[in-house]
Amino acid sequence: MTAEATNQISSEDFHERMHANHMYGLWELASQMTPHPQPKMVPYLWKGALFDSIIEQSGEVVPIGNERRALQLFNPGLDGRWATTNSLLGAVQMLLPGETARAHRHTPTAIRFIMEGTGAYTAVDGERVYMKPGDLVLTPSWAWHDHGNETNERVVWFDGLDLPLIQSLEAMFFQLYDVPMVPLTRPHNDSEHLHGHAAIAPTWVKEKPLSSPLLIYSWDAAYGALMSMQDHDGDPFEGIKLEYQHPQTGGPVLPTMACYIQLIRAGERLKAHRQTGSAVYYVERGNGETIIDGVKYVWGKGDVMVMPSWAVREHANTSKSEDAILFSISDVPVLEKLGLHKTEGYEENGGHQQVTSTFQPESV
């Protein structure tokens, strides 16, 4: 190719030719190299009362035998993507009395945190765990699972999944089991009998799966742990925040998702900070507020809140006398494994943000 020849192409023609061949110049894209994360997802808050009302209606409109009444929370910033944050999905699900779900499995990993109702079960790989409010239940990636409500009352839980992450990694697999229920091969709550003890473990269990072999983390244990540490200083930004653990490794319960339970004591206002990684919170009890990038989100029992990556966050319990407890899921384990977890304390203004406005959910 001679200099003469190439001289003849105009910039416009050159770009047209380049694009026609599925190439773009770095000079056309540099603005996407942002100085820090600028997520399209936004903070958001769904009120517990809204769930109550819509769930109740869903029981009428979507009767048993058809589909599961699971309300998927869509982040308003993500253009209709099935996602509450870039990596995580939160949902609220109601089981009607007598309802069962057909056994299936998928690569997205899931947790359940029981909001209401005692006595429904989740079965995972041949073991049934019976659940009560505050219990955390795991359904690891690719494990067969089904569930049912043998009681006379509705059961409601919060679902957390890493479905958006699995989709963006192009690793989605899904399969129905050939009969409605996986045969039971282990006693009820067997994983709790084996692995639910404080630092003592069976020597004859040799396998150490990537996901926790303990399928249910009881509310009594979680609440007891919070109470036993309530006189500690805890973390200046997050207070008495405890992580549910893989009992064999001490790592996160699931390779893509961490679960936390967090006590914010009466009157406590924590300091502001930010970190990479997104989260979805469920308010187990109490009243408080979280200031996210200057906007105040007021929360109470039953609410669900979204936290984007790198947003400055600051939690407070606004009651003078009652504890607040937050359950949350987060994709921090993914960022840590990939060397992408960054944290930063908020240094200005004594570590507390100026509030510029208060969030009003557009509840209808």
For the bound state, the minimum distance from the C-beta of residue 72 to a second copy, rounded and expressed in Å, comes to 5
**Is residue 279 within the footprint of a second copy (CB under 8 A)?**
no
Nearest-CA neighbor of 87 among 37, 162, 138? 162
**Is residue 207 within the footprint of a second copy (CB under 8 A)?**
no
Which one, 34 or 321, has the nearer CB to a second copy? 34
Map the footprint of a second copy across residues 220-239, applying CB under 8 A. Answer: 221-222, 224-225, 228-229, 231-235, 238
**Is residue 145 within the footprint of a second copy (CB under 8 A)?**
no
d(CA 116, CA 113): 9
DSSP result, 130-183: E--TT-EEEE-TT--EEEE--SSS-EEEEEEE-HHHHHHTT---EEE-SSSSPP
Which one, 94 or 283, has the nearer CB to a second copy? 94
CA atoms lying within 13 Å on the CB side of residue 204: 1
- Report the amino acid identity of residue 301: K
d(CA 222, CA 263): 11
Write the interaction track for a second copy spanning residues 77-116; mark x where CB under 8 A is met and - where it is not.
Answer: -----x---xx---x-x------------xx---------
**Is residue 122 within the footprint of a second copy (CB under 8 A)?**
no
User: How far are the Cα atoms of 142, 224, 352 from residue 171, in angstroms, in the given order?
Assistant: 11, 38, 41
**Is residue 324 within the footprint of a second copy (CB under 8 A)?**
no
User: Which two three-digit tokens encode residue 178?
Assistant: 């050939």
Q: Which span (126-134, 161-169, 279-287, 313-321) binds a second copy, by CB under 8 A?
A: 161-169
Nearest-CA neighbor of 288 among 328, 313, 239, 323? 323
For the bound state, the minimum distance from the C-beta of residue 299 to a second copy, rounded and expressed in Å, comes to 16
| Count of residues in contact with a second copy, rule CB under 8 A | 135
Write the interaction track for a second copy spanning residues 61-80; mark x where CB under 8 A is met and - where it is not.
Answer: xx---xxxxxxxxxxx----
